[in-house]
A and B are shown apart, each in its own frame.
Chain A
Amino acid sequence: MALPLDPRQWSLAVKAPALVAVFMLVVSTVITNAVLSRLKVTQERHLAALSVTYLDGLASALVPHVLRDDVWEVFDTIDRSAALGGGFGKARVVVVNGRGETIAAGSSEDAALGSSQRGREDRFRADQMLVVDEEKGRAYGRRLLSYQDRPIGRIYADYDIAHLLEEREDVLRTLIASNALIALFLAAIAYLTIRAMLAPLARLSRHIDQSVAGPVQPVSLASAGASGGEFWRLFQRYNALTEALNEREALAKQLATEERLASLGLLASGMAHEINNPLGGLFNAIDTLKRHGEKAAVRDSSINLIERGLRGIRDVVRTALSTYRSDPEQRRLAVVDLDDIRLLIRPEVERKRITLTWQNELVEDLSLPGSAVRQVLLNLLLNAVAAVPESGQISVSLKIDDDALMLTVDDNGPGLGSLALDLLSGRSLRPVSTGHGTGLGLWVSRQLVIDLDGQVATGQSALGGAAISVRLPLNSHRRLSDAA
């Protein structure tokens, strides 16, 4: 798994250990500094104490010899003086008289007899007795030699503190190594812990990914960790959500059926109206026949009237049948099939006194499933009828354009709302109310168009309202029917 460069993109299982490591780094830096400065203070205090003891001992032995300026005895005293102890080895000692001139040095390399050592004083500030020079790995001590309260000379001691610095480096190395180990260990523990803690989340995430592609399924609570824990509750809520979603989908399906029934009811009442209209005339004609049937002119005109009335009823019934035939068989779309739609919506059109312009340029049957195309057109028309005001305008255009059937419905209504646009363009996958109804009509149309490999385009109509164009390709279906 390649880690992205941007830490913000890291997963929590990486971020947390990284945070632990950074935290440990800060803590160990602080601790290391504290330990080292503490060690340094301790070492220097220890060295200062050793130096004072050492130089005090040396001073008491040296005073009589320094008083006499006895080179040999001063040298012999320095030469015999015990090592400092504590790993410092033998100090490099120079003893000077009151004028700062060398009486004797432990090593002739340090100071020649009689040479001025006043420069050594420059190393010390005020009454400092010990100065540490870490760069050179040496420490410098001094001690005034006095006799009867009169200064008679000084001792300068130069200690090798390499082992102290080495000790510090050792401590530093040990601290770095142990802190690095602890940081690694804690980071590893953090990684494993966080990964284990986040495992249910990852499972849920995978589950959601799968649900996007397929049906939304509840996730097993067994993998959510301890009952009542955060993830358990999250999983529960997620399951409640899937349940709600599924219920809504089921409801939507049920609503679609109900919508279909509702439109059927609407149409049925329209159809009853259509049938009822000529019925009065038919009964009148029959009445006329009964009374004046012997008159040829009356009889003929009555029979003619009855025939036209029955033909109208037959047309209405046929249209209803063809629209709501549950026959799944592909049926060629006849030109008149679409014209029949006019008949179905006529009651509504008349009720609202709508001006319906019908432009049918089709001349031959098309290899498209008639039922589905009629359903689409009917839904678009019903939508337009619902949208336009009283005495509104609706224009329908049916034509063949570039191997496709183009159905265009214009109206002078208020235009399509964003929800209706979402429904038609497919951005909304589930039916929502568009304000005039349940929105199922548009949704069903959209699904039917998709089934027919078609496209829906929406726009502004020249009439002032919405323009909805449906393009249904003929090719695939024509070829199918030709092959058949």
Chain B
Amino acid sequence: MSHIRRSSDIRAGGIEPKRALNRRQVLSAVAAAAVALPAVVRAEQPFTFGLTPVFLTSDLALLDALQAYLSEAMDRDVRLVLKRTYQEITSQLATGQIDAAWICGFPYVAYQSRLQLVAVPTWRGHNTYQSYLITAAGRASSGIDDIRGDAHAFSDPDSNSGFLVTRALLAERNVRPDSFFRKSFFTYGHRNVVRAVASGLAQSGSVDGYVWEVLTETEPELTRRTRVIWRSEWMGFPPIATSNLNMGRASITRLQRALYDMADNPVGRRVLELLRLDGFSRADPSMFDSIALRVDLVRRAG
């Protein structure tokens, strides 16, 4: 996997080269963990951790590594729960059906009263990311006003970068997406937005800037057919959250610990490399204030 080696090089400052892993080592570590599991698993329910396809969930190697790392670090069986939409994950999280989940800033703001932050990723030294507007590569556009009348691809109605940011931009102009765009639709995945724009299905799209940047490394032939025409200001990175009900439980603390210490473990570093993240750090609700402002703006605009 070329992108793994490339990411090792990028991360060379953070990880000593001799400790960098290749896929085989990760897999053997996973296998070792799986073999070791029966010995360490206690007679309790597996810890459920929700993910949405908004992230890079297409990479099974990443999911395997993440599950292996969390199980090992938390010393407990961990089950990854994948749902198609943010909505499904958020509702299951809020109702305590899953223990924790990696959600987006927008649902966090929306369900803030019922959710608690566990950690927030660090990407390129910060806990922030941007939303991008993208078009086909050859198109001369420089902002939202140039893409009026397009077929527009959104990621998810509960995504900040893949919907709310653009929705707010339009709200500032007092228009709704269905009147501004000739047609708009949801792809339920940031990568799908890039695919839709690259294939010409949509003329423009709203996409997570972090996902687009990572894709330029992992699937350059896909992003090369698109062009970023507008970038939002930096906003709080999608956090890992849990229900209020779970707060203070040992399992959540262990999860928090596992996330914070991810860079100290070979399998954890493998996960971070695949995610192109530096690590996880303590989250503060104020990080998502700008998202909350947009939610207000959109609500006022109706």
Q: Which residues of A contact B (CB under 8 A)?
A: 70-72, 75-76, 79, 104-105, 107-109, 112-114
Query: Within 8 Å CB of A107, what residues of B?
Result: 199-200
Of the candidates A72, A79, A114, the one whose C-beta lies within 8 Å of that of B182 is: A114
Q: Is B186 engaged at the interface, CB distance under 8 Å to the other chain? A: yes
Asked if B182 and A71 sit within 8 Å, CB to CB, the answer is: no
Known A112-B151, A113-B201: A72·B183 in contact at CB below 8 Å: no
Interface residues of B in 173-222 (CB under 8 A from A): 182-183, 185-188, 192, 195-196, 199-202
Min Cβ gap B108→A in Å is 25
Contact A71 B200 (CB under 8 A): no
Chain B residues near A76 (CB, 8 Å)?
187, 192
Say yes or no: is B100 at the interface (Cβ < 8 Å to chain A).
no
- The number of chain B residues with a CB under 8 A from chain A is 15
Q: Is B153 an interface residue (CB 8 A)?
A: yes
B192 touches A108 (CB 8 A): no
Q: Which residue of B lies closest to A109 (CB)?
A: B200
Determine how close the nearest CB of chain A comes to the CB of B152; give it in whole angstroms. Answer: 10
| Most chain A C-beta atoms within 10 Å of own C-beta, residue among B182, B199, B201 | B201
Cross-interface CB contact of A79 among B153, B183, B199, cutoff 8 Å = B199
Q: How far is the CB of B197 from chain A (nearest CB, A)?
A: 10
* Nearest-neighbor residue (CB-CB) of A108 within chain B: B200
Q: Among the interface residues A70, A79, A109, A113, which one has the most CB atoms of the partner chain B within 10 A?
A: A113
Bound-state CA distance A108–B201 (Å) is 5
In the bound complex, residues from chain A placing their C-beta under 8 Å from that of B153 are 72
Chain B binding site: helix, strand, loop or mixed by DSSP? mixed
Given contacts A104-B201, A107-B199, A108-B201, contact A71 B185 (CB under 8 A): yes
What are the residues of chain A within 8 A of B196 when measuring CB–CB? Answer: 72, 75
A70 to B187 alpha-carbon distance, docked (Å): 9
Q: Measuring CB to CB, which residues of chain B are less than 8 angstroms from any residue of chain A?
A: 151, 153, 182-183, 185-188, 192, 195-196, 199-202
**Closest chain B CB from A73 CB (angstroms):** 8
Name the one of A70, A108, A114 contacting B199, with C-beta atoms under 8 angstroms. A108
**26 interchain pairs, CB-CB under 8 A:** A70-B185, A71-B185, A71-B201, A72-B153, A72-B187, A72-B192, A72-B196, A72-B201, A75-B199, A75-B201, A76-B192, A79-B195, A79-B199, A104-B201, A105-B201, A107-B199, A108-B199, A109-B200, A112-B151, A113-B151, A113-B182, A113-B183, A113-B201, A114-B151, A114-B182, A114-B183
Tell me the minimal C-beta distance from B70 to chain A in angstroms.
30
Q: Nearest A residue to B155 by beta-carbon distance?
A: A72
Taking the nearest CB of chain A, how far is it from the CB of B85, in angstroms? 12
Minimal beta-carbon separation of B280 from chain A (angstroms): 31
- Chain A residues whose CB sits within 8 angstroms of the CB of B202 once the complex forms: 113
6 shortest A-B CB distances, which residue pairs?
A108-B200, A71-B185, A72-B187, A113-B151, A113-B183, A75-B201
- The answer for the CA separation of A70 and B185 in the assembled complex, in Å, is 7
Asked if A72 meets B199 with Cβ closer than 8 Å, knowing A112-B151, A113-B151, the reply is no
Known: A76-B192, A113-B151. A71 touches B199 (CB 8 A): no
Which of A72, A79, A108, A112 contacts B185 (CB under 8 A)?
A72
Task: State A104–B192 Cα separation when bound (angstroms).
Answer: 14
A76–B84 CA distance with the chains assembled, in angstroms? 14
> Chain B residues with Cβ under 8 A from A105's Cβ?
201
Chain A residue with the shortest CB-CB distance to B154: A72
| A109 partner residues in chain B, CB cutoff 8 A | 200
For A75, list chain B residues within 8 Å (CB). Answer: 196, 199, 201
In the complex, what residues of A have CB within 8 A of residue B201's CB? 71-72, 75, 104-105, 108, 113
Interchain CB contact under 8 A, B192 and A71? no
Smallest Cβ-Cβ distance to B185: which chain A residue: A71
Query: What's the Cα separation between A112 and B203 when bound, in Å?
Result: 10
The complex places the Cα of A161 from the Cα of B183 at a distance, in Å, of 34
Q: Once bound together, how far apart are the Cα atoms of A237 and B88, in whole Å?
A: 112
Q: State in angstroms the CA–CA spacing of A109 and B200 once bound together.
A: 8
List the A side residues contacting B188 at CB < 8 Å.
Answer: 72
Once the chains are docked, how many angstroms separate the CA of A456 from the CA of B187? Answer: 123
The closest CB in chain B to the CB of A107 belongs to B200
Residues of B within 8 A of A108 (CB): 199-201
CA distance A112 to B183 in the complex (A): 10
| Docked CA distance A114–B178 (Å) | 13
Look across to chain B and name the residue whose beta carbon is closest to the beta carbon of A114.
B183
* Residues of chain B with a CB closer than 8 A to A71's CB: 183, 185, 201
Q: Which residue in chain B gives the minimum CB-CB distance to A76? A: B192
**Chain B residues near A113 (CB, 8 Å)?**
151, 182-183, 201-202
The docked-state distance in angstroms from the alpha carbon of A71 to that of B181 is 14
CB distance from B229 to the nearest CB of A (A): 18
Question: Bound state CA distance, A45 and B195, in angstroms?
Answer: 36
Closest chain-A Cβ to B136's Cβ sits at a distance in Å of 9
CA A105 to CA B192, docked complex, whole Å:
15
Determine whether the beta carbon of B200 is less than 8 Å from that of A72: no
Query: Chain A residue with minimal CB distance to B202?
Result: A113
| Cα separation A79 to B202 with both chains bound (whole Å) | 14
Minimum CB distance partner of B186 in chain A: A72
Give the residues in chain B near A104, CB-CB below 8 Å: 201
Q: How far is the CB of A349 from chain B (nearest CB, A)?
A: 131
Most buried by A among B151, B185, B186, B199: B185
CA distance A76 to B182 in the complex (A): 20
CA distance A113 to B153 in the complex (A): 12
Which residue of B is nearest A105, CB measured? Answer: B201
Q: A70-B185, A72-B188, A75-B196 are in contact. List 13 more A-B contacts (CB 8 A).
A: A71-B201, A72-B185, A72-B186, A72-B192, A72-B201, A75-B199, A79-B195, A104-B201, A108-B200, A109-B200, A113-B183, A114-B151, A114-B182
Q: How far is the CA of A356 from the CA of B151 in the complex (A)?
A: 137
| Residues of A close to B192: CB separation below 8 A | 72, 76
| CB of B97 to closest CB in A, whole Å | 25
The CB with the most chain B CB atoms within 10 A, among A70, A72, A75, A114, is that of A72
State the Cβ distance, B151 to closest chain A Cβ, in Å: 4
